[in-house]
Amino acid sequence: MKNAERMVLLILLAEWLVFFFSGVTFSSLSGNSFYDIKADVFYWLPFLSGIPQIVMADHWAGIILDVFIFICLLYQIRFPFKTGAARILFPLLFLFYITLTAYLTHRNYPTGIFIVIIPFMFAGAMNRKMAFEAIRYFLLWFYFSAGFLKISVGSISEPGHLSHFLTHQFAPYYIENNTGWRTSLNQFLIQHNSFAYSLFLGSVIIELAALVGFFTHRFDRWLMVLFLLFHVCNWILMDIAFIGQAAFLSILMFSYYAKSTKTG
Protein backbone atom coordinates (compact mmCIF):
# COMPACT_ATOMS: atom_id res chain seq x y z
CA MET A 1 0.00 0.00 0.00
CA LYS A 2 2.75 2.39 0.99
CA ASN A 3 4.81 1.54 -2.07
CA ALA A 4 1.78 1.89 -4.34
CA GLU A 5 1.11 5.36 -2.96
CA ARG A 6 4.78 6.21 -3.43
CA MET A 7 4.59 5.02 -7.01
CA VAL A 8 1.73 7.44 -7.75
CA LEU A 9 3.67 10.27 -6.13
CA LEU A 10 6.88 9.40 -7.97
CA ILE A 11 5.05 9.60 -11.29
CA LEU A 12 3.62 12.94 -10.19
CA LEU A 13 7.12 14.17 -9.31
CA ALA A 14 8.39 13.02 -12.71
CA GLU A 15 5.54 14.92 -14.36
CA TRP A 16 6.33 18.03 -12.36
CA LEU A 17 9.97 17.82 -13.46
CA VAL A 18 8.89 17.51 -17.10
CA PHE A 19 6.77 20.64 -16.65
CA PHE A 20 9.75 22.36 -15.04
CA PHE A 21 12.27 21.39 -17.71
CA SER A 22 9.75 22.18 -20.45
CA GLY A 23 9.87 25.74 -19.12
CA VAL A 24 6.21 26.26 -18.19
CA THR A 25 6.24 26.32 -14.39
CA PHE A 26 5.75 29.47 -12.31
CA SER A 27 9.33 30.72 -12.60
CA SER A 28 9.36 30.41 -16.40
CA LEU A 29 6.00 32.11 -16.86
CA SER A 30 6.88 35.17 -14.83
CA GLY A 31 6.44 38.42 -16.71
CA ASN A 32 3.55 37.06 -18.71
CA SER A 33 0.71 39.57 -18.64
CA PHE A 34 -1.72 38.04 -21.12
CA TYR A 35 -4.38 35.50 -20.19
CA ASP A 36 -7.77 34.57 -21.53
CA ILE A 37 -10.12 32.89 -19.11
CA LYS A 38 -13.64 31.66 -19.68
CA ALA A 39 -16.81 31.66 -17.59
CA ASP A 40 -15.58 29.29 -14.91
CA VAL A 41 -15.73 30.20 -11.25
CA PHE A 42 -12.69 27.98 -10.55
CA TYR A 43 -10.63 30.33 -12.73
CA TRP A 44 -12.39 33.43 -11.51
CA LEU A 45 -11.70 32.96 -7.80
CA PRO A 46 -7.88 32.76 -8.09
CA PHE A 47 -7.77 35.65 -10.57
CA LEU A 48 -10.15 37.75 -8.45
CA SER A 49 -7.84 37.18 -5.51
CA GLY A 50 -5.00 38.48 -7.69
CA ILE A 51 -2.70 35.60 -6.71
CA PRO A 52 -1.80 34.40 -10.23
CA GLN A 53 -1.16 38.00 -11.28
CA ILE A 54 1.14 38.57 -8.27
CA VAL A 55 3.06 35.35 -8.93
CA MET A 56 3.43 36.23 -12.61
CA ALA A 57 4.68 39.70 -11.78
CA ASP A 58 7.42 38.52 -9.40
CA HIS A 59 10.12 36.22 -10.72
CA TRP A 60 11.27 35.27 -7.21
CA ALA A 61 7.73 34.32 -6.17
CA GLY A 62 7.70 31.91 -9.11
CA ILE A 63 11.06 30.40 -8.18
CA ILE A 64 10.00 29.97 -4.55
CA LEU A 65 6.75 28.25 -5.53
CA ASP A 66 8.53 25.92 -7.96
CA VAL A 67 11.05 24.88 -5.32
CA PHE A 68 8.37 24.59 -2.66
CA ILE A 69 6.27 22.25 -4.79
CA PHE A 70 9.35 20.13 -5.46
CA ILE A 71 10.20 19.90 -1.75
CA CYS A 72 6.60 19.10 -0.78
CA LEU A 73 6.50 16.30 -3.35
CA LEU A 74 9.74 14.83 -1.99
CA TYR A 75 8.39 15.04 1.56
CA GLN A 76 5.12 13.39 0.57
CA ILE A 77 7.04 10.57 -1.14
CA ARG A 78 9.13 10.06 1.99
CA PHE A 79 6.05 10.09 4.25
CA PRO A 80 3.11 9.06 2.04
CA PHE A 81 0.69 8.57 4.94
CA LYS A 82 1.18 12.07 6.35
CA THR A 83 -1.23 14.71 5.10
CA GLY A 84 0.45 18.06 5.77
CA ALA A 85 2.46 18.29 2.56
CA ALA A 86 -0.47 17.06 0.46
CA ARG A 87 -2.74 19.75 1.93
CA ILE A 88 -0.19 22.35 0.82
CA LEU A 89 0.42 20.68 -2.54
CA PHE A 90 -3.22 20.61 -3.58
CA PRO A 91 -3.79 24.40 -3.65
CA LEU A 92 -0.33 24.96 -5.14
CA LEU A 93 -0.82 22.46 -7.97
CA PHE A 94 -4.33 23.81 -8.51
CA LEU A 95 -2.89 27.32 -8.76
CA PHE A 96 -0.26 26.01 -11.19
CA TYR A 97 -2.93 24.39 -13.36
CA ILE A 98 -5.08 27.54 -13.34
CA THR A 99 -2.11 29.78 -14.11
CA LEU A 100 -0.81 27.64 -16.96
CA THR A 101 -4.13 26.91 -18.61
CA ALA A 102 -5.31 30.52 -18.36
CA TYR A 103 -3.02 31.09 -21.36
CA LEU A 104 -3.90 27.93 -23.26
CA THR A 105 -6.75 26.68 -25.33
CA HIS A 106 -6.05 23.12 -24.15
CA ARG A 107 -7.94 23.02 -20.91
CA ASN A 108 -9.59 20.35 -18.80
CA TYR A 109 -7.68 17.22 -19.69
CA PRO A 110 -4.53 17.64 -17.50
CA THR A 111 -6.63 18.26 -14.37
CA GLY A 112 -5.13 15.04 -13.04
CA ILE A 113 -2.02 16.97 -11.99
CA PHE A 114 -3.86 18.32 -8.92
CA ILE A 115 -6.82 15.93 -8.57
CA VAL A 116 -4.47 13.01 -7.92
CA ILE A 117 -3.34 14.72 -4.70
CA ILE A 118 -6.83 14.73 -3.15
CA PRO A 119 -6.66 11.24 -1.54
CA PHE A 120 -3.33 12.08 0.09
CA MET A 121 -5.07 14.88 2.00
CA PHE A 122 -7.06 12.33 4.01
CA ALA A 123 -5.66 10.82 7.20
CA GLY A 124 -6.63 7.31 8.22
CA ALA A 125 -6.43 4.26 5.99
CA MET A 126 -10.18 3.89 5.43
CA ASN A 127 -10.73 7.59 4.68
CA ARG A 128 -7.91 7.52 2.19
CA LYS A 129 -9.14 4.34 0.57
CA MET A 130 -12.57 5.90 0.11
CA ALA A 131 -11.01 9.03 -1.35
CA PHE A 132 -8.97 6.98 -3.82
CA GLU A 133 -12.09 5.14 -4.84
CA ALA A 134 -14.02 8.40 -5.35
CA ILE A 135 -11.20 9.77 -7.50
CA ARG A 136 -11.14 6.52 -9.44
CA TYR A 137 -14.83 6.98 -10.32
CA PHE A 138 -14.13 10.56 -11.36
CA LEU A 139 -11.38 9.28 -13.67
CA LEU A 140 -13.63 6.62 -15.16
CA TRP A 141 -16.37 9.19 -15.80
CA PHE A 142 -13.84 11.60 -17.31
CA TYR A 143 -12.95 9.09 -20.04
CA PHE A 144 -16.37 7.51 -20.45
CA SER A 145 -18.09 10.89 -20.89
CA ALA A 146 -15.63 11.77 -23.69
CA GLY A 147 -16.72 8.66 -25.62
CA PHE A 148 -20.38 9.20 -24.75
CA LEU A 149 -20.30 12.78 -26.07
CA LYS A 150 -18.78 11.66 -29.37
CA ILE A 151 -21.84 9.47 -29.84
CA SER A 152 -24.42 11.92 -28.51
CA VAL A 153 -23.31 14.82 -30.74
CA GLY A 154 -23.19 12.54 -33.77
CA SER A 155 -19.49 12.78 -34.62
CA ILE A 156 -19.33 8.99 -34.68
CA SER A 157 -21.33 9.04 -37.93
CA GLU A 158 -18.95 11.44 -39.73
CA PRO A 159 -16.37 9.47 -41.78
CA GLY A 160 -14.15 12.55 -42.26
CA HIS A 161 -14.26 13.57 -38.61
CA LEU A 162 -10.71 12.67 -37.55
CA SER A 163 -9.18 13.72 -40.89
CA HIS A 164 -10.64 17.21 -40.47
CA PHE A 165 -9.16 17.49 -36.98
CA LEU A 166 -5.80 16.24 -38.17
CA THR A 167 -5.46 19.19 -40.57
CA HIS A 168 -5.13 21.47 -37.51
CA GLN A 169 -2.81 19.44 -35.34
CA PHE A 170 0.53 19.73 -37.15
CA ALA A 171 0.10 23.04 -38.98
CA PRO A 172 3.01 24.81 -37.17
CA TYR A 173 5.34 21.91 -38.04
CA TYR A 174 4.69 22.48 -41.76
CA ILE A 175 5.27 26.24 -41.42
CA GLU A 176 8.57 25.66 -39.64
CA ASN A 177 9.59 22.86 -42.02
CA ASN A 178 10.02 20.60 -38.99
CA THR A 179 8.69 17.51 -40.73
CA GLY A 180 9.30 13.83 -40.06
CA TRP A 181 7.47 10.55 -39.58
CA ARG A 182 4.66 12.08 -37.56
CA THR A 183 3.88 14.72 -40.21
CA SER A 184 4.06 11.98 -42.89
CA LEU A 185 1.58 9.95 -40.88
CA ASN A 186 -0.54 13.08 -40.44
CA GLN A 187 -0.72 13.59 -44.22
CA PHE A 188 -1.45 9.91 -44.80
CA LEU A 189 -4.40 9.99 -42.39
CA ILE A 190 -5.76 13.21 -43.91
CA GLN A 191 -5.67 11.58 -47.34
CA HIS A 192 -7.10 8.25 -46.14
CA ASN A 193 -10.05 9.33 -44.06
CA SER A 194 -11.56 5.82 -43.86
CA PHE A 195 -8.46 4.55 -42.09
CA ALA A 196 -8.45 7.65 -39.86
CA TYR A 197 -12.12 7.02 -39.10
CA SER A 198 -11.36 3.47 -37.97
CA LEU A 199 -8.77 4.88 -35.54
CA PHE A 200 -11.36 7.35 -34.31
CA LEU A 201 -13.80 4.50 -33.67
CA GLY A 202 -11.03 2.70 -31.78
CA SER A 203 -10.50 5.72 -29.56
CA VAL A 204 -14.25 5.94 -28.82
CA ILE A 205 -14.29 2.24 -27.87
CA ILE A 206 -11.35 2.77 -25.50
CA GLU A 207 -13.11 5.72 -23.88
CA LEU A 208 -16.34 3.79 -23.52
CA ALA A 209 -14.43 0.87 -22.00
CA ALA A 210 -14.20 2.95 -18.83
CA LEU A 211 -17.80 1.92 -18.16
CA VAL A 212 -16.54 -1.53 -17.16
CA GLY A 213 -14.72 0.05 -14.23
CA PHE A 214 -18.03 1.17 -12.71
CA PHE A 215 -18.97 -2.47 -12.12
CA THR A 216 -15.67 -4.15 -11.28
CA HIS A 217 -12.09 -3.40 -10.25
CA ARG A 218 -10.88 -6.54 -11.95
CA PHE A 219 -9.90 -4.87 -15.22
CA ASP A 220 -8.38 -1.68 -13.79
CA ARG A 221 -4.88 -2.55 -14.96
CA TRP A 222 -6.15 -3.21 -18.46
CA LEU A 223 -8.09 0.04 -18.43
CA MET A 224 -4.93 1.85 -17.42
CA VAL A 225 -3.03 0.22 -20.30
CA LEU A 226 -5.84 1.14 -22.72
CA PHE A 227 -5.92 4.77 -21.58
CA LEU A 228 -2.13 5.00 -21.79
CA LEU A 229 -2.35 3.57 -25.31
CA PHE A 230 -5.01 6.17 -26.09
CA HIS A 231 -2.73 8.97 -24.86
CA VAL A 232 0.35 7.67 -26.68
CA CYS A 233 -1.69 7.58 -29.91
CA ASN A 234 -2.97 11.06 -29.06
CA TRP A 235 0.60 12.27 -28.95
CA ILE A 236 1.60 10.53 -32.20
CA LEU A 237 -1.50 11.48 -34.19
CA MET A 238 -2.76 14.68 -32.57
CA ASP A 239 0.43 16.05 -30.99
CA ILE A 240 -1.14 16.18 -27.53
CA ALA A 241 1.08 14.90 -24.75
CA PHE A 242 -0.29 13.28 -21.61
CA ILE A 243 2.18 14.70 -19.11
CA GLY A 244 -0.09 15.94 -16.34
CA GLN A 245 -2.41 12.96 -16.57
CA ALA A 246 -0.04 10.00 -16.04
CA ALA A 247 -0.03 10.00 -12.21
CA PHE A 248 -3.80 10.35 -12.24
CA LEU A 249 -4.08 7.30 -14.52
CA SER A 250 -1.72 5.32 -12.31
CA ILE A 251 -4.30 5.25 -9.52
CA LEU A 252 -5.97 2.50 -11.55
CA MET A 253 -2.90 0.40 -10.83
CA PHE A 254 -3.12 1.50 -7.21
CA SER A 255 -6.80 0.59 -6.94
CA TYR A 256 -6.08 -2.91 -8.23
CA TYR A 257 -3.28 -3.25 -5.68
CA ALA A 258 -5.44 -2.02 -2.81
CA LYS A 259 -8.20 -4.42 -3.75
CA SER A 260 -6.00 -7.49 -4.07
CA THR A 261 -4.15 -6.94 -0.78
CA LYS A 262 -7.35 -5.95 1.07
CA THR A 263 -5.45 -3.36 3.08
CA GLY A 264 -6.74 -0.03 4.28
Partner 1 sequence: MNKWFIIRLYQHSKPAFVVVALYILLYALLFVKKMDMVMFPYNSMFSVDFTRDYNTDTYQLKLDDRPVTYTHLLWWKKDFMETSLRNYVLLLNREPYIEKYIQYAYANTPYSKFLLKQLKPSMHDHSWLKWYASFGNKETSAYTMFSIWKYHLTFNGNSIHIDSSLVLHEKLQP
Q: Indicate whether 24 belongs to the interface with partner 1 (CB under 8 A).
A: yes
Least Å from the CB of residue 218 to partner 1: 12
Q: Is the dihedral of CA 109, 235, 89, 60 positive or negative?
A: negative
For partner 1, the binding residue among 2, 21, 202, 261 (CB under 8 A) is 21
Least Å from the CB of residue 8 to partner 1: 19
Instruction: Tell me the window of 3-11, 70-78, 152-160, 249-257 that interacts with partner 1 (CB under 8 A).
Output: 152-160
**Rounded distance, CA 77 to CA 69, Å?**
12
Least Å from the CB of residue 260 to partner 1: 12
Least Å from the CB of residue 78 to partner 1: 27
Closest CA to 165 of 189, 145, 137: 189
Residues from 40 through 79 that contact partner 1 (CB under 8 A) = 40-44, 47-48, 50, 53
Q: Indicate whether 187 belongs to the interface with partner 1 (CB under 8 A).
A: yes
Can you list the pairs that 18-22 forms with residues at least 24 positions away whose Cβ atoms lie under 8 Å? 18/243, 19/96, 19/243, 19/244, 20/66, 20/70, 22/243
**Rounded distance, CA 34 to CA 40, Å?**
18
Q: Indicate whether 31 belongs to the interface with partner 1 (CB under 8 A).
A: yes
**Rounded distance, CA 56 to CA 31, Å?**
6
For partner 1, the binding residue among 184, 191, 198, 260 (CB under 8 A) is 191
Instruction: Tell me the window of 2-10, 14-22, 219-227, 247-255 that interacts with partner 1 (CB under 8 A).
Output: 14-22
Instruction: Tell me the window of 60-68, 73-81, 219-227, 238-246 that interacts with partner 1 (CB under 8 A).
Output: 238-246
**Rounded distance, CA 99 to CA 80, Å?**
27
| Helix and strand totals (H; E) in the chain | 14, 0
With beta carbons less than 8 A apart as the criterion, state whether 115 and 86 touch.
Answer: no
For partner 1, the binding residue among 60, 172, 181, 194 (CB under 8 A) is 172
With beta carbons less than 8 A apart as the criterion, state whether 10 and 250 touch.
Answer: no
Least Å from the CB of residue 104 to partner 1: 5
Count of residues in contact with partner 1, rule CB under 8 A: 76
**Rounded distance, CA 103 to CA 29, Å?**
10
**CB of 78 or CB of 104, closer to partner 1:** 104
Q: Indicate whether 194 belongs to the interface with partner 1 (CB under 8 A).
A: no
Closest CA to 214 of 140, 156, 147: 140
Residues from 103 through 142 that contact partner 1 (CB under 8 A) = 103-109, 111, 126-127, 130, 133-134, 137, 142
For partner 1, the binding residue among 149, 205, 229, 232 (CB under 8 A) is 149
Least Å from the CB of residue 71 to partner 1: 22
